[in-house]
Every structure is written in C-alpha cells, then in structure tokens.
Chains A and B, each alone.
Chain A
Amino acid sequence: MSIIRSLIVPGWTRILPGVLLCVVFAFVVMNIDHMLHRYYKADVASTKIPDLKRRLALATAAGKTKAAVKLSKSLRKHQKALKKAGGKVGQSWNWATFLYQKAQFKYVAMLLIGGILIRNIFGIPEIFKPGVAVGRPLIKPGIIILGVHYIWSDVLRVGGTGILLAAVFIFGTATAVMWLCRRSGVPDGLGGIMGAGTGVCGVSAIIATSPVVGAKPRDMAYAIGTILLFGTAMLFVMPYLGQALGISQSQFGTWAALAILNTAQLIAAAEWYGDEARNTAVLINAARIMLIPLIVVFAVWFYGLKGKGQDIGFWSTMAKKFPVFILGFFVLILLNSLHLDALGGPKTAGTPFWAMNAVYKWFFAIGFAGIGLSISIDDMKKAGGVAFLIGSGAAMTKMILGLIAVLIIGRELMRVTGGQ
C-alpha cells in the first residue's frame, strides 16, 4: 500500500488542469499537422500523377512488366493521396508544401513555437502552471514505446559508439566547466551543477547533482536558465543548420544527442529533422542518461565532497540517480529482437507492436506541448554571470566538436535499421 501511496503525486489535483491543457493543445496541433501533411501529399500527387501515367503507358507498351507493376503501385498511392484531399490532378496546394516541406512547420515546431508564444504573449493562468510542468515528462512513456523500433544489433552498434562518444563529450565538458568555474571563483555549488548540466542531460543532471554539491536554489535557477536558453536556441537552429549542411538523418540524430543537453529538447529537435534522426538520437540518449549517476559520483570526487548527513557513496548514488524508466525501453528492444509472432513488429499490420507504433507520437506531442508552454523568457533571464558564459561557451564548443565528430563518423555507422 505504501508503494502505491508514494506513487500518487502529492497535490495531484493541482496538476490536472495543466496536464489537460497540454493534451488539448497537443490534440489541436496534431490535427493541424495531419491536415498539412494531407495537402502536402496531395500537392506532390497532383504534380506526379500525369508523369507516372505517361511512364506507365510507355512501360506497358514496351512490355516491361516489372517496371509497369512498380509504376502502377506508385500511381495508386498518389491517387489515394489526392482522393484523401478531395482534389483533382492539376490542382495546387503550394502553401502546404511550403509550410510542411520547405519551412519544416511540423507538429514539433507548432507545439514549441506556439507554446512559447502562448506562454510569453498571452500568459498562462496560474491554475494551469503546475500541470504544464508535468506535461513534459510524458515524453518518457513515448521513449519506452519507441523501443519497438530497435533490435539489439542497433543497440550494440549505434548505442555502443554513442555511449563512447557521449562519455568523452560528457566528462570532457563537465571537467572543463568545473575547472574553469573554480579558476574563475564561481562557487562550487554553481560550478558543480553547471558542469553536470552542460555535460549531460541538462535539467535532470542539475537536479541530481545539486544536493551533493550543496547548490543553492538561486544557483539552480542560474544553471537551469543557462541550459534552457542554450537548448531552446539549439532546438530551433540545429534542424535548419543540419539541412543547410546536408547532413544525413543518422548524423543529425548523433549530433543532436551530443550537443543538446535536455532530453525533451533533444528528442524534439531530432523528431523535427525526421524519423531516422529521432531513432538514432533516442538510442544515444538512452545510453547517455545512464551516465547521470556517474556524473554525480564524478562531481563528488571532483570537489572532494564528504557526505553532510547524506549518503554519497558510489553504489547508493548509482541506485538513487539511475533513470529506471530506460529499463522499459530496453525490455521492448529485447522483445522486438526475439521476433515473437505474438508481438509482431512495428511494420507488421495487426500486431501489438504495430499498434504501439501508432501511440508514441501522441505522448511526444503532449510532452512537446509541455515544453513549449513551460518556456518562460523571464526564467531564461535568470541565466547570467561568469558561470553562464562558461556554461554556454562549453555547450557551444561541444556542439561544434559534435558536428566534426559526426562528419568524421559518416552516414552509415549510426543508422538504426530496426532489423530492416
């Protein structure tokens, strides 16, 4: 009973209105995204159908059966897309192509930009604020469910390389930031959480490290402000930068996982770039967040801390700070790797994993709504001082080095196949 009682969030009735706001916002935006996608597909179909018909006639006349079957299949697909929009060949939906394809105005962008605008221009009534902050962790069930996209060979290849890269970047950044903060006279509490926050996983690492390095609430506000400011800027800049540089989906996923500190923002940026980028980013992030307990232990060692009324031993810290939800993600990968007929796969119609594959995006959408609605310009203004300069300088350096690393690694190594 006590376990069940401890699962109930104290004052849960206060968070309900905000969570509902996130759900409604996500629902509206997902529908707009769906409509945009439909008209974009119809626009493509309207342009392609005449050409496909001409090529099909030529292939049939030349007796190229295989090519004709392929063209016929493609033609049917485009005709179906056109029918869904209720349009005719020759009709144009340029605006949908511009918004959806060129401007990449997909559900992620709508939820984030829309959320920020709502929060900072119109404001959110007090009754919604506690629940809006709870919307963001709903990304976690989405991450677990996304496990059906992977098999163990992906985990070993992408996750193995990813954890190596992440470990180098995490501990390199954390050491550099903590050392620079100490040299610049920044208090250990602020230097410790800034090092942990810019090294790994942003806000989670700050929260995990703050009690052991004795950070004050104001230090936490500074560090979280810096992480959020940098993460928000990168979230909007990196997808366009990636497109301009022509880097592949898997390369972008790796780059985002190395450069963007906050899990939710990282997944948002990768999802914005594309499904393959998201698959790579989620897997590397799963490996990365398992390093959070180690960064806490590292901070304890770096500052030579002794437990002040709290146990900061290696194993107790590992147990306390380990993100247990990630075990669910790995269980689903294991089940998918076993190729069980009873569970099927994400692309096998009528199977449980195929059904689950339809669900995760909704959790992400509610989580992204929570991020957008939580980003307050006033909170970001709290970032400042020497620690901010060091933290953002280190994060920027990590972003540039991450880009160089993924360009060296190439397109194939970090690609998630999902057994395909």
Chain B
Amino acid sequence: MTTNPTSDKSAASGLSPEKREDIWALLIAAGVLLVSIAAPDTVHNVFKNLLYLL
C-alpha cells in the first residue's frame, strides 16, 4: 500500500516492507479478535464510548 521509510534496509532483514506490513496487519487483527473473544463488552465500550470525550 505504501513505501516504508526504511525500505532500503528491508532486503537485509529478509521480508519486503509490504510483506512486513501484511504480517503486522494479520497479527493486529488476530489480537483484536482474541481480546474481543475474551471481553467483548469491554472492547465495545472502549471503542464506542470511552474514547469519545466530546
């Protein structure tokens, strides 16, 4: 989707910036799924109510 500012170093680390972004996206989504399974009401309350201060 976009260039990584450190793309010049990516070859050395084995993963392209796009693949790294994709894997992080999968990990973050999996984390959200797990937390939502553990505490659905809390997750909903945080993102629908608590984060809105105005």
Contact = CB atoms under 8 A, between A and B. Distances in A.
A139 B22 CA distance: 11
A364 B9 CA distance: 27
Nearest to B15: A6
Contacts of B6: 9-11, 14-15, 130
B40 to A, nearest CB: 4
A6 B20 contact: yes
B37 to A, nearest CB: 5
A140 B43 contact: no
A30 interface: yes
Contacts of B36: 352-353, 355-356, 359
A358 interface: yes
Contacts of B16: 320
A138 to B, nearest CB: 8
B7 to A, nearest CB: 8
Given A7-B24, A10-B6, A355-B40, A145 B29 contact: yes
B25 A14 contact: no
Interface of B: prevailing SS: helix
Nearest to B31: A141
A327 B26 contact: yes
A133 B20 contact: no
Interface in A187-205: 203-204
Contacts of B48: 358
Contact of A358 (B1, B25, B29, B44): B44
Contacts of A141: 24-25, 28-29, 32
A38 to B, nearest CB: 8
A139 B21 CA distance: 10
Interface of B: 1-6, 9-10, 12-16, 18-26, 28-30, 32-33, 36-37, 39-41, 43-44, 47-48, 51-54
22 contacts: A8-B13, A9-B6, A10-B9, A10-B12, A34-B52, A130-B5, A140-B25, A141-B24, A144-B26, A204-B2, A323-B18, A324-B19, A325-B22, A328-B29, A328-B30, A343-B37, A350-B40, A351-B40, A352-B33, A354-B44, A355-B41, A374-B2
